[in-house]
Structures are given as structure tokens and as C-alpha cells.
Amino acid sequence: MAKDSPQARLKEYFDTASYVDGDSFKYESRVCRIMVQEKLYLITSLREPRHYAQGIFDILQVHRWVYDHARIIHRDISMTNLMWRKRNGVICGVLNDFDLSSRRDRESASALRRTGTGPYLACDLLKEDPPVHIYRHDIESIFNVLVLLCCSNKV
């Protein structure tokens, strides 16, 4: 980061600023990257119950694989991060958006504040002093998405 860049000036300002309650604010530098990939569709656009079942099954499998083998926890499961694509005529579920993910062996995410999308967060993570985000919390978030899918789309 250049010394006189807007990002450096923001960091300098926010590192000395504080919230109304007195807590200090830490500026977290971010890097904008663009990734090009095949077109994915929101899981809400599926119409057949068997396609929903296949999509969620695939997403659960890939979530477990990423957790076990890449040692990454997603931390931001939401309706818009569960997607699908069609490959050789078969519906495949896709877990998307790993921006807020973190390595399993770290205590916190790459973002300084709580991560996740409110309506889908595990109940434990909504507490004032939430525990470390673990695998079970992501599974609970997938369950919360599934409940909303079933209620809203008549799956």
C-alpha cells in the first residue's frame, strides 16, 4: 500500500478512531480481485424437488471436502451462496463465495468482525460473545437455508 494512497490515509484515520462505546476500530485492508468462472444459478431458481435434493447433497459434500482436505471453513453460508450449474445434463450444487472463509486452524476469520448473513447464522453465533466459528455452525446455516427454501418455494 502506497504511503499517500487513499487506503493508507483511511487506515491512519480509522486506527485512531473509536466507536461510541469506546471500542477501537481497526481498519482492515482488502484487495479487490476479479475471478472469471462459468455461469452459476441461484439455488432458488430450481423447480424440481429432486434437483433441490441433489443440489443440497452436492453442497454438503463439497463443504465437507473443503473442511477436511483444504482445511477451510466457509463462514458465510446464505441463500445467495448456494448455487447450481448443469454439467452434462445433470444438476450440480455449488458452494460459492469464499471471501469471508478462513483456515480451520485460525481462531478468527479474515474479517475482523462477525461474519455471515444474519438470517442464516447459527444461533450460537448470534450471542453477544459468540464462540469460535466451527463446522457445525456452517451446517446449521445450510439447514436454515433449506428451511427457508422449503417454506418459500414449496419444495
pLDDT tens track for 90-134: 999 999 988 888 888 765 554 445 566 677 778 788 788 888 888
Question: Do the beta carbons of residue 151 and residue 44 sit within 8 Å?
Answer: no
Q: Which of 69, 77, 52 is nearest to 136 (CA)?
A: 77
Q: What is the distance in angstroms between the CA of the first residue and the CA of the last residue of the chain?
A: 49
- Residue 37, C-alpha cell as written in the block: 468462472
What's the pLDDT at 28? 67
Is residue 66 predicted with pLDDT exceeding 70?
yes
Let me know: does 74 contact 95? Beta carbons within 8 Å. Answer: yes
Stated pTM of the model: 0.71
Q: What is the pLDDT of residue 80?
A: 93
Q: Which three cell numbers stand for residue 74?
A: 466457509
Per-residue pLDDT at 31 exceeds 70: yes
Q: Which of 32-41, 57-66, 103-112, 126-135 has the lowest mean pLDDT?
A: 103-112
- pLDDT at residue 26, rounded to an integer: 66
Which structural domains are found in the chain, ordered by start? Answer: 1-32 (no CATH), 38-153 (1.10.510.10)
Q: What is the pLDDT of residue 111?
A: 46
